[in-house]
Chains A and B, each alone.
Chain A
Amino acid sequence: MRDFYKIVLCSILVAGFILSCGRKESEYTADGRLILDYWEKWTGFEAEAMEKVVEEFNRSQDRLFVKYVVTAGIDRKLLVATAGGDPPDIAGIWTWAINIYADKGAITRLDDYAKKAGITRNDYIHVFYDMCTHRGKLWALPTTPATIALHWNKRLFREAGLDPNKAPKTIQELDEYAEKMTLYKLPDGKIISYPELIKLPDYKSIISNAEIIQMGFLPFEPGWWNWAWNHYFWGTMWNGRDKMTINTPEQIKAYKWIASYSEKFGKDLVERFTSSFAGQFASSQNAFLCGRVAMEIQGVWMYNFIDKYAPGMDWGCAPFPTDAEVKGLENVTVVEGDVLVIPLGARHPEESFEFIKFVQNQKYMEMLCMGHRKFTPLASVSEDFYKNHPHPYLNVFRELAKSKYAFTVPAIGISNEILREYNVACDLVRKLELSPEKALNDLQVQLQNSLDREIQRLKRRGKWQ
């Protein structure tokens, strides 16, 4: 009989284990406030900034209490939690994930909540509101925004005899600057610049035994926006609906420009040079921060890394140059950002939106963006925000966001695949393994197939309009 009790006890333990894996009940604080779980990817000073806003919210509330949970690899964890039917109440994701999550039915529509709260497009720099919408519906609201621009090292400009306060305005000018600041170390130890090198009669044989020690610019460093280069040449990658437009003359021109860096400076030498700092972003070995690459395309966040890893650096910032042959094309940028969403299946969407709404308040949004050392996505900004902000070029980034040539990741459910395959194509082009035409033709076929499949999928589920 005692054995029987042991078996019953074991069974209860096992059953308890299984049941504990299920959906948990709503939790309340000791003073009876509903606890909302907020998953966010930020750590360090970025997390601290949001934690302050969360504290303010909790202080202002007698009904709700937001619990800030740092979640690394948030996209995968959100996937598992949502699929398991127990997602967090609020999640902080990247803007490029909105389209995917919306198309796959992972997040809640916010139109009605926003309308009720009186939040409109005009409250924001339009692009930040627009990027929270997908297929005409609102799915998220912004937290911290970002745009990208040219960063340059003024010391290296001076050393090359360039005006350190004058950024290149066109791609052609950028290439000229890049040549002047690219330095080779010859086998005899002598260091000469690219323009000096090509004056030597047998420079092609010399180059094979030389080593690049500094470059003016590299289109594939850091290589995060390989899909976006066409915008700087007046190209676009899809028609906004059902056709990819990847192998257009503008994109081919952009990719020829990428290949030109390997052709001009020596493919193997460039590869060796880049491999020495590959994967070193948040580090003092970062190519730009350690002064090995003089100009780089980077986001508003770069200031934080300059401050941390190269505090004494003399640097400048301006809109990234565009193709001189396209008249009127200027202030081109890629817009990105972080947003708050309510995962589908979250238990308290209405209460969760109260927190999202709180973050949209100018005072708290500025508190958050100041903590992140970024600009604010809101249309109105207080004077104090600019006055107290440490970023010396903040307005460059904010103005870029207002540009009519501010682009975002294409709002398609296959945007992850698009970004990944562009990286592969860029890799093949920069290594001169495929011609730009061939690489982009292949990419066109491949991504058009993927888009067709996605549209078919959406039609099957009745989501294609």
Chain B
Amino acid sequence: MAMTKKEKMNIFKGLAFISPWIIGFLTFTVYPVIMSFYYSFCDYSVFEKPLLIGFDNYIDLLFDKIFWISLGNTLYFAALSIPLGLIVAFIIALLLNAKVRCMAVYRTFFFMPTLVPIVASAVLWMWILNGQYGLLNNFLEWIGLKGPNWLQDKYWVIPALVVMGLWGLGRTIVILLAGLQEVPQSLYEASEIDGANYIQRIFNVTIPMVSPIIYFNVIMGIIGCLQVFSEPFIMTGGGPGRASTFYSFYLYQKAFEDYNMGYASAMAWILFIVILVLTLIANQISKRFVFYRGGD
């Protein structure tokens, strides 16, 4: 059915009113995405015109040892950080869901670290994790343990960054908490009548009911962890050696230190494919474990 003149005018007006966003989206997102794909096949330093070189950047990447190290470091970080973060956030959310006095205050406490700017928290944690004068090592010494030189030890640097990441779990906790509050009380009551204890209720009622939220956090975790940049940039400079050189950090070095934007673009597209594949895998797995209310 053909649109009336008024309907056409309405669409036109609608488009005109959202045009600042559309223009911004096309200019600052779509155009760079398309161009980065093109540049990934080019020798491009930003200063000179891009020169097509076929798949050279991708082939060079295959033989770049640091590329593989950075990918391995990033996947290791993600493998530690996502499950640990989820478990800790879930436990804290469960505790914050209890009905006790002053709960709003506790919830605020756990959310507050996410409000601290990343640079400030990174500098703070550099001192907490300092090998000689750090708070953490002083505490460990107090209980009779000798802490490692966290940020200077190749085995401890990534676990240290993971532990630091736990400090900023506020947002995940809030989302999980919202999910926990949505779990119908009737299900708990029914399971209690069936004789389920607290742990059984968590595994058989709570987790299935918040599984879509857990799934959402896994996906966001995958995307976030694979792009982690600020902490190594500020705290470790990718070291010791290459032990905390994460993918985005190496990409940054290639793009803005070596002015090799074509190579960096190729890296960005590989990262996109890695995230896409991991998300698809998570999506497949989710079909078995994620339960949607009102779904089949």
| Chain A residues proximal to chain B, CB less than 8 Å | 3, 7, 10-11, 14, 18, 76, 79, 82-83, 100-101, 104-106, 211, 268, 271-276, 278-279, 344, 414, 416-417, 420, 423-424, 427-428, 431, 433, 446, 449, 453, 457, 460-461
Contact between A275 and B130 (Cβ–Cβ < 8 Å)?
A: yes
Query: B133 in the interface, Cβ–Cβ < 8 Å?
Result: yes
Chain B residues numbered 54-101 whose CB sits less than 8 Å from any CB in chain A: 60, 63, 65-66
Q: Besides the contacts A427-B240, A431-B240, A460-B51, what 17 more A-B pairs have beta carbons closer than 8 Å?
A: A7-B13, A10-B16, A76-B256, A79-B47, A82-B47, A104-B46, A104-B48, A105-B47, A106-B47, A272-B131, A274-B152, A275-B130, A275-B132, A424-B238, A446-B65, A457-B43, A461-B43
Q: Is B296 an interface residue (CB 8 A)?
A: no
B interface vs A, CB < 8 Å?
9, 12-13, 16-17, 19-20, 23, 27, 43, 45-48, 51, 53, 60, 63, 65-66, 126, 130-133, 149, 151-154, 238-242, 253, 256-259
**Contact between chains at B132 and A276 (CB < 8 Å):** yes
Nearest-CB residue, chain B, relative to A13: B20
A414 to B260, CA, bound (A): 10
The reply to whether B126 and A104 contact each other, CB–CB distance below 8 Å, is no
> Would you mind naming 28 contact pairs between A and B with Cβ atoms under 8 Å apart?
A3-B9, A7-B16, A10-B20, A11-B16, A14-B19, A14-B23, A76-B256, A79-B46, A79-B47, A82-B46, A83-B46, A83-B47, A100-B259, A104-B48, A105-B45, A106-B47, A271-B153, A272-B131, A275-B130, A275-B132, A275-B149, A275-B151, A276-B130, A276-B133, A278-B152, A424-B241, A431-B152, A431-B154
B55 to chain A, nearest CB (A): 14
- The CA-CA distance from A321 to B149 in the complex, in Å, is 32
Q: Is the Cβ of B53 less than 8 Å from the Cβ of A460?
A: yes
Q: Is the CB of B253 within 8 A of A420?
A: yes
**CB–CB B47/A273 < 8 A:** no
Q: Which residues on the A side are within 8 Å of B53 (C-beta)?
A: 460
Across the interface, B131 reaches (CB within 8 A) one of A82, A104, A271, namely A271
Q: Which residues does chain B contribute within 8 Å of A460, judged by CB atoms? A: 43, 51, 53
How distant is the Cα of A275 from the Cα of B149 in the complex, in angstroms? 8
* CB <8 Å contact, B257 and A420: yes
Count how many pairs of residues, one from A and one from B, have CB atoms less than 8 Å apart in the complex.
Answer: 95
The answer to whether A417 and B257 touch (CB under 8 A), given A7-B16, A104-B45, A433-B154, is: yes
* Nearest opposing residue in chain A for B65, CB measure: A446
Q: Which of A106, A268, A423, A453 contacts B60 (CB 8 A)?
A: A453
Given contacts A79-B47, A83-B47, A460-B51, contact A424 B133 (CB under 8 A): no
Q: Given A79-B46, A105-B47, A457-B43, A275 and B242 touching (CB < 8 A)?
A: no
Nearest Cβ on chain A to B56's Cβ, whole angstroms: 9
A275→B23 contact, CB < 8 A: no
Give CA–CA (A424, B153) in the complex, Å.
Answer: 14
B46:A3 contact, CB within 8 angstroms: no
Q: Is the CB of A424 within 8 A of B239?
A: yes
A272–B19 contact, CB under 8 A?
A: no
Asked if B48 contacts A3 (CB within 8 A), the reply is: no
Give the interface centre of B12, B27, B47 by most chain A CB atoms within 10 Å.
B47
Query: Are A271 and B45 in touch, CB under 8 angstroms?
Result: no
Contact of B257 among A211, A274, A416 (CB under 8 A): A416
Closest chain B CB from A401 CB (angstroms): 27
Would B240 and A461 count as touching, CB distance under 8 A? no
* A104 vs B240: C-alpha distance when bound (angstroms): 30
Given the complex of chains A and B, what is the CA–CA distance between A168 and B151 in angstroms? Answer: 34
Chain B residues in 8 Å Cβ range of A271: 131, 149, 152-153
Query: Across the interface, which residues of A come within 8 angstroms of B17, CB to CB?
Result: 10
A3:B13 contact, CB within 8 angstroms: yes
Chain B residue with the shortest CB-CB distance to A76 = B256
User: Which residues of the partner chain A approach B20 to less than 8 Å between Cβ atoms?
Assistant: 10, 14
Min CB–CB distance B157 → chain A (angstroms): 12
Chain B residues, CB < 8 A from A76: 256
Chain B CB within 10 Å, residue with most, of A276, A427, A449, A453:
A427
Known contacts being A416-B257, A416-B258, A453-B60, is A424 close to B130, with CB within 8 Å? no
Contact B19 A427 (CB under 8 A): no
Give bound CA distance, A414 to B258, whole Å.
7
- CA gap between A449 and B59 in the complex, in Å: 13
Contact B242 A424 (CB under 8 A): yes
Question: In the complex, which residues of chain A have a beta carbon less than 8 angstroms from the beta carbon of B153?
Answer: 271
Question: Which residues from A are CB-within-8-Å of B46?
Answer: 79, 82-83, 104
Contacts of B16 in A (CB 8 A): 7, 10-11
Q: Are A104 and B241 in contact (CB under 8 A)?
A: no
